[in-house]
Amino acid sequence: MSVDTRTSLLDLLREQLDLHGAKKGCDHGQCGACTILIDGQRANACLALAVAHDGAALTTVEGLADGDELSPLQQAFLDHDAFQCGYCTPGQLCSATAVLAELRQGWPSAVTPPGGEVQPTAEEIRERMSGNLCRCGAYANIVPAITEASS
Amino acid sequence: MSTTIAPAVGSGLRRVEGHEKLTGTARYAYEHHPQGELAYAVMVQSTIARGEVTAVNTEHAVAMAGVRAVIWAGNAPRLAEDTEGELAVLQSPRVAYRGQVVAIVIADSLEMAQRAAQRLEIEQAAETHDVVLREDHPGLYKPDKVNPTYPADTERGEFDAAWSEAEVTVDEVYRTPAEHNHPMEPHASVAAWREDGIILYDSNQGSFMAAQTLAKAFGFETEQVQVIAHHVGGGFGAKGTPRPPQIAAVMASQAVRRPVKLATTRQQMFALTGYRTPTIQRLRLGASPDGRLRAVAHDVYEQSSTVQEFAEQTALATRKMYDCVNTRTAHRLVRLDVPTPSWMRAPGECPGMFALESAIDELAIALGMDPIELRIANEPERDPESGLAFSSRNLVACLREGARRFGWAQRDPRPGLRRDGRWLSGTGVAASTYPARRRPSVATARVRDDRRFSVAIAAADIGTGARTVLTQIAADTLGVAPDRVVMEIGDSQFGQAMLAGGSMGTASWGSAVQAACARLRERIGDGTPEPGTEVRYDTAEDVEADAALSRHSFGAQFIKVRVDADSGEVHVARALGVFAAGRILNPLTARSQFIGGMTMGIGMALHEESLLDPQFGDYVNHDLAGYHIPSCADIEDIEAVWVDEHDERVNPLGAKGIGEIGIVGTAAAVASAVHHATGVRVRELPIVPPRLIALGPIL
């Protein structure tokens, strides 16, 4: 397909591919609602120009479930009521999916310096999920949901 | 029909739209594509705080690729003559605040519209502006009423005499800044204007009221305007009534005769979608040595725009909270060259209770009395303002239960004693309250062709769980399992309904749903449900007949903070809210509402402040990098619980609204905890390190 050179990945998904799961909350990379996975790593789709990602593998929230079956993370979000209005939720889920992979791979963070043993503690999850804002205030449910999905 | 099904109300039914929200298939306003070739609209804002737009070079912009139209005051479609205030978009060249809509660019793509908007040449004639609220501003006046219809000033007893005789007094000034609602979904609309009406996919808190307002502005009957808001990404008051962006979207569609998408940007929300007014509040509390309040005065100074009056009801809670014969409250307003303030979660109670509850804590210290016992000593038997009985009031139970859970009995009240390295810690408490009202609404219950039940009401689920609890109410009333109910909300064509505001949604909609379902069940009787059987119920007469009672929720908030003694950085280490809010319909979603409110209250206490630059009249921190709201790392240990409250009199459901009370009192509890930790009393929010350090020395 051909796209305007100014088009972000987020606008491409939402306006041209009818994949509206990724949300636009600020368009400046400040809220995380647009978080998707680009080649398996989390990124703000609003800050990525579409033309710069020709050939990349993109995973949006639409791609997390297995057919009608929610992923363990999605199911944990449902059970813990880890969302209210649902607008930050696609970004939270994509971000958390990547966080689980980062934890498994032992990536360092502000909580665990390089070389330290990475554990899926509440403190670690809070730190790694702080790029995804939730104005409804579901953090207290998001953290246990991710903790449950990490085990 | 079966009568052996376990009740749905009271169960933690998962959100009925959860699957859609978790898989990205729930469609929010901007994600609808009506028939016809779409155009994209972008709003252009004034860059002066007061003056006039003298010219817009539309020709240059329209010559750009893909641009369909540029409209401004010189060529905009005319709205109905009586369209007033913020809704009169582009009806005059006058500029009343920086950021006001002065033009709309409409183009074939978002990128084209944005580019043309950036390059649009606008000539503005600036005049001297005045944007700073002060308690000695010469323009201060007494509004006729405060939001929505309360008297601006009240007095009972004789404050002056009682104040002069009071043995223990507190006389302090508290300040709260402008704060912005910032739902995660910015305001967005997809408008399709036609000769015979409007279809608007919109992000709002009340589709019926939006349809009424838009119909009036664009010269249609309400039935000719359909407003649809199936999923709404938060509101917190900012989407309660139509704001300039909705008008702009419809007007843009009218101008180009195509469906138009218009999304407000996060930056534009600072000027165009309302905010909480800054407040300056003087509190005077006088007591006898036994802690009984003898004199209370609450004087409030706040702002509105020159466009329209919005008078926040900041001293409202002070009129009812404690038993004091001599109580005086007053609101003074000044009209500045600023955007128009509006509702933000618990307007009135939220800033007002920061001041009152901080002052109560200061009074407790002055008396040498425990702040919980001080509150209990002043507990009224009846509503002190109206003299009415409370439908129920369980503040004392909340304070006692919270104290037990929080280990309050072990608290040493002396400040600055608890230090662990750089970190000082302290605890604080505050009371919460919020009215529990309801308003008329219409619900329709119908037997579907598949013999399930459809229940329709123009309610809004802005994240509250409304769709889920209404499903539970309908299921129990019909005597069926929740999966037999298809709850339809968010469409103005379902009829008149209260908006999602004032914590009135569940009580208003729920009693209409309950009544419609009860009558449908009666009609079906023991027979087989016949598809198409339908009952419509309007609660207008029921609400009119509600007994005269004082209806309020109450709560108690307990906070533990730790404060970095070197930097002044404050963390909330523990937050506990105990609430008495009638019957809890769904403990899962109710808890989310409470902790969500408390989380926003922590933001109010520590982070949130819209900083207005007096020179340019603009909010300088106008994005989410500059306007800080709590992030995941800011919320460590937060819990909300409730006491059993059986209130048969509040309304037919026995339920009180819970969307707002969670934010009321949180900031006062944080400020009192900071004082307990450090010995420094912060009377101006938010409690950011420079403010705390400047007030020091920290112990």
* Cβ-based neighbours of A63, under 8 Å, separated by 6 or more: none
Give the pair of three-digit tokens for residue A118.
């990475």
* Cβ–Cβ contact A16 with B under 8 A: no
Q: Minimal Cα–Cα distance from B333 to chain A, Å?
A: 29
Q: Of A136, A146, A147, which to mutate for an interface test with B (greatest number of B Cβ within 10 Å)?
A: A136
* Intra-chain end-to-end CA distance of chain A, in Å: 41
Contact present, B565 and B419 (Cβ < 8 Å): yes
B24–A20 CB contact, under 8 Å = yes
Average pLDDT of chain B to the nearest whole number:
97
B592–A61 CB contact, under 8 Å = no
Q: What is the pLDDT of residues B407-435, one digit of tens each?
A: 999 999 999 999 999 999 999 999 999 99
> What H or E segment, with its residue span, contains residue A35?
strand A35-38
Q: Minimal Cα–Cα distance from B681 to chain A, Å?
A: 27
Residues of A in contact with B116 (CB under 8 A): none
By Cβ distance, the residue of A23, A84, A140 closest to B635 is A140
Tell me which chain A residue has its CA closest to the CA of residue B591.
A81
Nearest CA-CA partner of B111 in B164, B66, B47: B66
By Cβ distance, the residue of A18, A24, A135 closest to B629 is A135
> What H or E segment, with its residue span, contains residue B75?
none
Cα torsion B396, B320, B642, B668: sign: negative
β-pairing verdict for B67-72 and B638-642: unpaired
Q: Which residue type does B626 have?
A: G
**Residue B328, CA atoms < 13 Å, CB-side half-sphere:** 16
Q: What is the pLDDT of residues B139-177, one digit of tens each?
A: 999 999 999 999 999 999 999 999 999 999 999 999 999
Q: What is the pLDDT of residues B77-135, one digit of tens each?
A: 999 999 999 999 999 999 999 999 999 999 999 999 999 999 999 999 999 999 999 99
Q: Is B592 left (phi over 0), alpha (psi -120 to 50) or beta?
A: alpha
A31–B266 CB contact, under 8 Å = yes
Q: Of B22, B64, B239, B624, which to mutate for an interface test with A (greatest number of A Cβ within 10 Å)?
A: B22
Give the pair of three-digit tokens for residue B269.
């929300």
* Intra-chain end-to-end CA distance of chain B, in Å: 69
Measured distance CA(B526)–CA(B680) in Å, rounded: 69
Tell me which chain B residue has its CA closest to the CA of residue A18.
B31
Which residue is it, tokens 């000033």? B153
B24–A79 CB contact, under 8 Å = no
* Cβ–Cβ contact A7 with B under 8 A: yes
By Cβ distance, the residue of B265, B591, B631 closest to A27 is B265
Contact present, B67 and B112 (Cβ < 8 Å): yes
Q: Minimal Cα–Cα distance from B20 to chain A, Å?
A: 9
The alpha carbon of B126 is separated from its chain's Cα centroid by a whole number of angstroms, namely: 33
Size of interface A-B (CB pairs under 8 A): 179
CA-to-CA dists, residue B438 to A104, B446, B517, B586, B651, angstroms = 50, 24, 19, 19, 8
Q: Name the pTM for this structure.
A: 0.98
Q: Minimal Cα–Cα distance from A115 to chain B, Å?
A: 22
Residues of A in contact with B14 (CB under 8 A): 78-79, 81
Residues of A in contact with B469 (CB under 8 A): none
B/e letters for A98-108, b = 16+ CB within 10 Å, e = fewer, are bbbebbeeeee
By Cβ distance, the residue of A131, A137, A143 closest to B599 is A137
Tell me which chain B residue has its CA closest to the CA of residue A130.
B632
DSSP designation for A70: P
Query: What does the pLDDT read at residue B3?
Result: 53
A130–B598 CB contact, under 8 Å = no
Q: Report percent pLDDT > 90 for chain A.
A: 99
Measured distance CA(B554)–CA(B430) in Å, rounded: 11
A126–B632 CB contact, under 8 Å = yes
Q: Minimal Cα–Cα distance from B185 to chain A, Å?
A: 6
Residue B312 annotated among the catalytic residues of the structure: no
By Cβ distance, the residue of A11, A90, A136 closest to B234 is A136
Give the pair of three-digit tokens for residue B638.
């937060």
Measured distance CA(B108)–CA(B138) in Å, rounded: 49
Query: What does the pLDDT read at residue B697?
Result: 72
Q: What is the pLDDT of residues A106-125, one digit of tens each?
A: 999 999 999 999 999 999 99
* Cβ-based neighbours of B149, under 8 Å, separated by 6 or more: none
Give the pair of three-digit tokens for residue B34.
């009506």
Cβ neighbour number for residue B230 with a 10 Å cutoff: 21
B24–A134 CB contact, under 8 Å = no
Measured distance CA(B303)–CA(B374) in Å, rounded: 33
Q: Of A62, A84, A95, A121, which to mutate for an interface test with B (greatest number of B Cβ within 10 Å)?
A: A84
Residues of B in contact with A89 (CB under 8 A): 21-22
Nearest CA-CA partner of B494 in B444, B439, B539: B444
Cα torsion A89, A92, A94, A96: sign: negative
A21–B265 CB contact, under 8 Å = no
B/e letters for B166-177, b = 16+ CB within 10 Å, e = fewer, are bebbbebebbbb
What parts of chain B have a pLDDT lower than 50? Answer: 1-2
By Cβ distance, the residue of B110, B233, B599 closest to A11 is B110
Nearest CA-CA partner of B256 in B67, B30, B463, B491: B67
β-pairing verdict for B570-580 and B552-564: antiparallel
Residues of A in contact with B22 (CB under 8 A): 61, 65, 70, 74, 77-78, 83, 86, 89, 93
A137–B236 CB contact, under 8 Å = no
Catalytic residue among B17, B86, B357, B660: B660
Nearest CA-CA partner of A11 in B657, B40, A22, B321: A22
CA-to-CA dists, residue B150 to B65, B146, B319, B348, angstroms = 53, 5, 11, 11
* Cβ–Cβ contact A65 with B under 8 A: yes
Query: What does the pLDDT read at residue B2?
Result: 47
Measured distance CA(B178)–CA(B132) in Å, rounded: 11
Q: What is the DSSP string of B430-482?
A: EEEEEE------EEEEEE-TTS-EEEEE----SSS-HHHHHHHHHHHHHTS-G
B17–A125 CB contact, under 8 Å = no
Give the pair of three-digit tokens for residue B39.
């155009």
Q: Of B184, B572, B637, which to mutate for an interface test with A (greatest number of A Cβ within 10 Å)?
A: B184
Query: What does the pLDDT read at residue B699?
Result: 57
Q: Minimal Cα–Cα distance from A107 to chain B, Å?
A: 18
Q: A66 exposed, middle or buried (CB, 10 Å; 0-12, 13-18, 19+)?
A: exposed
Cβ neighbour number for residue A110 with a 10 Å cutoff: 11
